[in-house]
Structure 1
Amino acid sequence: MKRILISSFDMEVGGVERSLLSMLNNFDYENHEVDLMLYSHTGDFMNLLPQKARLLQELPAYKTFRLSIGETVKRGNIGIGALRLYSKLIATLDKSAESGYKQMQYMWKYSLPLLPKLDKEYDVAISYLWPHYFVAYKVDAKKKIAWIHTDYSTVDTEIQMDLELWDRFHYIAAVSEECKNAFLVKYPALSKKVIVLENITAPVLVRELSKEKVDNPLLGDSRFKIITVARLSHAKGIDQAVKAMKKLIAKGYEDLVWYVVGYGGDENALRKLITSNGLEDHFILLGKKINPYPFIKEADLYVQPSRYEGKAVTVGEAQIIGKPVLITNYPTARSQVQDGVDGIICDLSIEGIAETIEMMYHNPELRSRLSHNCLSTNYENHSELDKLYQLV
């Protein structure tokens, strides 16, 4: 019986958390003893965790990474709070679009002396979500694996700090071949460590959940319905979607509506953008939904307007449900969609999104063919876990 540790932040609603759930629900527990370390026992997916994975107790020092600095200090973690404030101040000097990545790096690195180690030793320790400092420095294991879910060539991080971190892992698991290649653009010296382990899909479960009865405004909407399921963040490009919709409405497409399922730090800015463009009736933020599949099912078109991705879980799930899919041409897009076969890849721009939606709106035969191809494809890939067992 091999002892495995899997660590992540929490079980809030998100693509990474969905993929973690799929992996845990399909794991071989007869030959593996699995401990799950979540820094915070929070999130709507907590009650979906399989009982066969042993959830370790929450450690207060790690929970602070899901709390505000003020709340961290209030709970008595004054040292960590001060170090987080220092990390935030350093990061504010950075002018990148998402300086939060560097802030996260500083926060973990500087807090390391104040974070406890796990007592137990493992055969394999898996860090499922970046930054991977906990498994790298606070866990004893014969082998360590870090998962990567995004396109690191587009993420602005401190490369030297990253290299010191990656050096502590035996393997780096990318969720697609393109995700791996993009990672190696930034870290070519790590080529011997990087392997591909795709997100585990659960087609039967996704299709079953898509039939669930929920309060769904798409059901009573007779317009041409676009749907996106994504975190409200710079990476997911929802602001580009709003501006693309503005162009389409300006061209007279009044019977279009775009629904977005998801939540995140950009929500207030997006609501202001929607209002300033007069799109309140045409661009609707539905907020967090534990089960997004009934919303996808009722849409006419699924669109992923991202600036970058590793491999978007929700795109694959839309394909499983049989929706025609449109994604932007982010660097890893071709790992997700065969252009013209089970989806369309458009130029990564506001104009590209708007023009391709217009083309697909006028082409029901294309949408029907894409839908048919998706429904005819077997997206089940539980065999991906065999690669992990081989590493173990």
Structure 2
Amino acid sequence: MRKVLIASFDMEVGGVERSLISMLNNFDYVNNEVDLMLYSHTGDFMPMLNDKVNLLDEINQYSTFRKSIGETIKQGNLILGLTRVLSKFLAKVNGKSKNLSEYGIYQMQLMWKYALPFLPKLDKEYDVAISYLWPHYFVAKKVKAKRKIAWIHTDYSTIETDIDMDLKMWNKFDYIIAVSEDCKSAFLKKYPSLKEKVKVMENITSPKFIRKMAEEDIEENIKEDDSFKLVSVARLSHAKGIDNAVKALKLLHDRGLTNIKWYVVGYGGDEEMIRKIIKENNLEDSFILLGKKINPYPYIEACDLYVQPSRYEGKAVTVTEAQILNKPVLITNYPTAKSQVRDKYDGLICELSVEGIANEVENLYKNEKLRMMLDNNCRGIDYSNGYELEKLYKLIL
């Protein structure tokens, strides 16, 4: 039996966490003994963890990464709290000299750099250690394993990092798994020296599970709503472009298409800003934030069109899930978009702008024949891909 460790932050509702659950549900437990290290045992997806996985006890010091500086200090982790204060200060000071336009990612890198000496190691030695979510410093520095693998879920060409600092971390890994070919290409443009380490393995999807979950009842009366319904499932963050979605709906209403409503399943730090834009554009009854939902599939099932208005993605899990539910899909032309849909076959790709989104939504709203074609093409595709795990097993033999 191979001893395998998989590490991630928590099980809050999100695409990466859903893909982790799918991977764990399809894992080979005959030949692998799997430990799961979560920095924080929090999140609505915790009950969905496969019972064949051994969930390691939460370690107090690592749980602080999901807490505020005040909470961290209050709970007795004074030094870790101070490293957070230091990283916040240095990110602003050094970020300017590094020509970074935003310091959030750099601050997280510094936070781990200064916290690492005060974080405990795992005693157990593994055959394989997998770090499922960036930053990967825990597996890189605090785990003993014969082989180490890091996962990348996003488009690294859009993220501002301290490259030298990141390379020191990436070089601790034997392999780096990208969730799509485009995700790999974007990563290698930034880190070309890592070419030999990077492999591609798509997120695991389970059509049977998704279709079953889509049958569940929902409290909201979306199914009875006779408007043309758009749905997006996304964190309320800059990357996901929900602010552009609000402005696109305003443009559509200004064109007289007031029968269109946009529902968003998700939560995040930009909620207040997005609600402000909704109010400024008098769209309170038409652009509806549904909040966090453990099961987003009934909402996708109820829509006429699934839209992913993102500024960047690695490979959006929810787009494939919408295709599994045979929904016409519209995504913006983010750098990895062409790895997500075949334009005009199983989805449409529109210009990444407010007007680009509005134009293509209008096109699909008026063209039922096109929507039906996209729907039918999705029905003819088998989206199950448990076989992708064979790629991982070959790396860990």
**Does TM-score exceed 0.5, indicating one fold?**
yes
TM-score by length of structure 2 reads 0.97
Equivalence for 1:335? 339
Equivalence for 2:118? 114
Equivalence for 1:262? 266
Paired amino acid for 2:144: D
Equivalence for 2:323? 319
Runs of 4+ in 1 over 3 A off after TM superposition: 92-98
Equivalence for 1:32? 32
CA distance in 1: counterparts of 2:381 and 2:149, whole angstroms: 30
TM-score by length of structure 1 reads 0.99
Farther off after superposition, 94-103 or 330-339: 94-103
Paired amino acid for 1:155: I
CA distance in 2: counterparts of 1:238 and 1:112, whole angstroms: 35
Alignment of 1:128-277 (within 5 A): 128-277=132-281
SS of equivalent residue, structure 1 residue 383: helix
CA distance in 2: counterparts of 1:87 and 1:269, whole angstroms: 26
Paired amino acid for 1:235: A
| Identity of matched residues, % | 65
1:284 aligns with 2:288: yes
CA distance in 1: counterparts of 2:13 and 2:280, whole angstroms: 29
By how many angstroms is 1:60 displaced?
A: 0.3
Paired amino acid for 1:357: V
Paired amino acid for 2:61: A
CA distance in 2: counterparts of 1:252 and 1:89, whole angstroms: 49
CA distance in 2: counterparts of 1:276 and 1:91, whole angstroms: 33
- Asked if structure 2 preserves the Cα contact closer than 8 Å seen for 1:102 and 1:157, the reply is yes
By how many angstroms is 1:184 displaced?
A: 0.5
Report Cα offsets for 1:48-86 as digits up to 9, x if no partner: 101111000000000000001100000000000011011
Equivalence for 1:298? 302
Extract unaligned runs of 5+ from structure 1: none
Matched pairs, number? 392
Report Cα offsets for 1:213-248 as digits up to 9, x if no partner: 121331221100000000100000001111111111
- Asked if structure 2 preserves the Cα contact closer than 8 Å seen for 1:216 and 1:295, the reply is no
CA distance in 2: counterparts of 1:228 and 1:120, whole angstroms: 42
CA distance in 2: counterparts of 1:206 and 1:97, whole angstroms: 39
Report Cα offsets for 1:249-289 as digits up to 9, x if no partner: 11111101000000000011111111111111111100000
By how many angstroms is 1:205 displaced?
A: 0.3
By how many angstroms is 1:98 displaced?
A: 4.8
Report Cα offsets for 1:87-134 as digits up to 9, x if no partner: 122234547565321111111111000100000000000000000000
Report Cα offsets for 1:172-224 as digits up to 9, x if no partner: 00000110001011111111000001100010000010001121331221100
CA distance in 2: counterparts of 1:217 and 1:329, whole angstroms: 32
By how many angstroms is 1:328 displaced?
A: 0.3
Paired amino acid for 1:234: H
* CA RMSD, Structure 1 to Structure 2 (Å): 0.9
- Asked if structure 2 preserves the Cα contact closer than 8 Å seen for 1:338 and 1:344, the reply is yes
- Asked if structure 2 preserves the Cα contact closer than 8 Å seen for 1:135 and 1:144, the reply is yes
SS of equivalent residue, structure 1 residue 217: coil
Equivalence for 1:86? 86
Within the candidate set 359, 368, 387, 2:391 is matched to 387
Equivalence for 1:10? 10
CA distance in 1: counterparts of 2:244 and 2:102, whole angstroms: 16
CA distance in 1: counterparts of 2:183 and 2:196, whole angstroms: 15
Extract unaligned runs of 5+ from structure 2: none
Paired amino acid for 1:277: N
CA distance in 1: counterparts of 2:281 and 2:115, whole angstroms: 43
Report Cα offsets for 1:298-336 as digits up to 9, x if no partner: 000000000000000000000000100000000100111
